Amino acid sequence: MKHYFRYESDPVRLDQYLPKAIPGLSRTQASVLIDDGSVTVNGKSVKPSFKLIPGSEVFVNIPDPVVSDILPEDIPLRILYEDDDLLVVDKPQGMVVHPAPGHYSGTLVNALMYYCRDSLSDINGTIRPGIIHRIDKDTSGLLIVVKNNRIHSKMAKMISDHDIVRKYRCCVHGFVESEKGTIDAPIGRSAGDRKKMAVKGSGKHAITHFEVLTRFAKASDLSVVLETGRTHQIRAHMSFIGHPAIGDPLYAGRRPKYGLVGQALHSKTLEFIHPDTGKQITVDSELPEYYSSLLERLSKED
């Protein structure tokens, strides 16, 4: 569906204007359309933050719905909270969140499509229904999944505004001396390895808080709270301070893996106010077996 507007008012951000101009379009959806190049101003692609001025000609092309070829799969899910609008899933280590090259089946999305049927938001497209945030394949733990676009938009804004508390456990190499700390360092794509993220001046603002729970002879078990949510944020920040997550295939180099197949990183607790009911939601996940076994092994080596 195509839309044309000639803007004739006070300057305003494009992503703020479009939801008012097109009924039913959320700001998140508007930003996705702009980033995809489906919106032009005066014939040129722009950013969501672009300021419209009087006389601006805006073209919007909303693509027709695409029928997904991602198939539902009857994969067991560990659901720790659910209501009519959302659910919180405890993802096992090794499961990919959404389909991508090399992983078109066996993902969390495949399982969600079977469990929720048609009750998943589609703001993030047909391969990421219900997904408003993600954790890496080898990171275990809690994820919020949303069932409709109305709640999706509200929850996405809550994440952007840092209104959702995300607490992790991360077991890292080395003896972390500070009881508590904050890592405030921008993160961007590594120039030397495109699979990795790195602290760099041109990166995006990123803040991670940590507290030492237990120290071992050659490792430390941390409680970590994300203030921002950048790709690989905890993994990159821990590596930056010289304490990469144990088992991390990207950031820990040749350090001992203690039998792990991925990083010792677990999304343990989520806390937020339900955007519709106003109810305080707190979901806590037990440490998975791989993490508990690692702690036991480290304690025996002291």
**Given a cut of 80, is residue 16 above it in pLDDT?**
yes
Query: Which class does domain 66-161 fall in?
Result: alpha beta
Domains 2-61 and 162-302 share a fold: no
Choosing from 15, 85, 90, 136, the catalytic residue is: 136
State how beta strands 140-146 and 265-273 pair: parallel
User: What pLDDT score was predicted for residue 126?
Assistant: 67
CATH code of the domain made up of 162-302: 3.30.2350.10
Least confident range from 151-165, 179-193, 234-248: namely: 151-165
pLDDT for residue 67: 47
Given a cut of 80, is residue 91 above it in pLDDT?
A: yes
Percent of the chain with pLDDT over 70: 96
- Output the pLDDT for position 68: 54
Contacts of 169 (CB under 8 A, 6+ apart): 213, 221, 222, 223, 224, 264, 265, 266, 268, 287, 291
Q: Which CATH number fits domain 2-61: 3.40.50.300, 3.40.640.10, 3.10.290.10, 3.40.50.410?
A: 3.10.290.10
Q: Is 136 a catalytic residue?
A: yes
Question: Domain limits of the chain?
Answer: 2-61, 66-161, 162-302
pTM (two decimals): 0.79
